[in-house]
């Protein structure tokens, strides 16, 4: 890359969602709980990351990365209206094979959550007084997932807000 290269994130533009098309090659799928969490994230925090697109010769945009952020706007009228029907877009100008590689790199680079780190986060939230309901809603956990993290931690303090059955008596 020449030294004058400027990353696309420094030139984000608002693009009407109606001018954006999905690509035909993205293998990424999102499970319903994560889709719900993405909506919650965009609703609470706004669009904090642009979608990455290629601008086609006809002026329309094709998604390279950000399909689920795009569909969140299409599926949720409140998000569409709040954003004025526009998505933040960073444009890359690459041939199709490079765009496909970019899509895969973006998908694979997201990583996974480390269980120990998630246990620490839950502990910090519980220590600061957050309820299980608050944790589940705001970080997108099911009751089963939260329970498993609490069990893995071995910390009885994470169960301090629970009343246990007397069935053992």
- What stretches of 2-136 adopt beta strand conformation (E)? 13-16, 20-21, 51-55, 61-65, 86-91
The answer to whether residue 28 scores a pLDDT higher than 90 is: no
Residues 124-164: tens digit of each pLDDT: 788 888 888 888 887 777 888 888 887 877 655 555 555 54
In Å, what is the CA distance from 67 to each residue of 41, 48, 77, 117?
Answer: 15, 14, 17, 28
d(CA 136, CA 33): 11
Decide: helix, strand or coil at residue 78.
Answer: helix
Task: Please state the pTM of the whole predicted model.
Answer: 0.73
Spatial separation of the C-alpha atoms in residues 113 and 152, rounded to whole Å: 15
| 12 vs 157: which has the higher pLDDT | 12
Residue for token pair 């059955």: 165
């Amino acid at each position: 890359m020449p030294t004058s290269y400027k990353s696309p994130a420094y030139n984000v533009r608002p693009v009407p969602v109606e001018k954006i098309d999905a690509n035909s090659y993205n293998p990424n799928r999102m499970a319903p709980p994560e889709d719900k969490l993405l909506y919650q994230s965009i609703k609470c925090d706004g669009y904090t990351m642009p979608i990455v697109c290629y601008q086609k010769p006809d002026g329309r945009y094709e998604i390279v990365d950000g399909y689920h952020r795009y569909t969140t706007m299409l599926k949720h009228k409140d998000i569409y209206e709040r954003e004025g029907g526009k998505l933040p877009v960073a444009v890359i100008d690459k041939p199709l094979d490079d765009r496909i590689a970019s899509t895969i790199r973006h998908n694979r680079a997201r990583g996974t959550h480390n269980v120990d780190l998630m246990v620490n986060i839950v502990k910090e939230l519980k220590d600061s007084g957050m309820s299980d309901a608050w944790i589940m809603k705001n970080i997108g956990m099911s009751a089963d997932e939260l329970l498993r993290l609490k069990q893995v931690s071995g910390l009885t303090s994470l169960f301090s807000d629970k009343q246990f059955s007397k069935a053992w008596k």
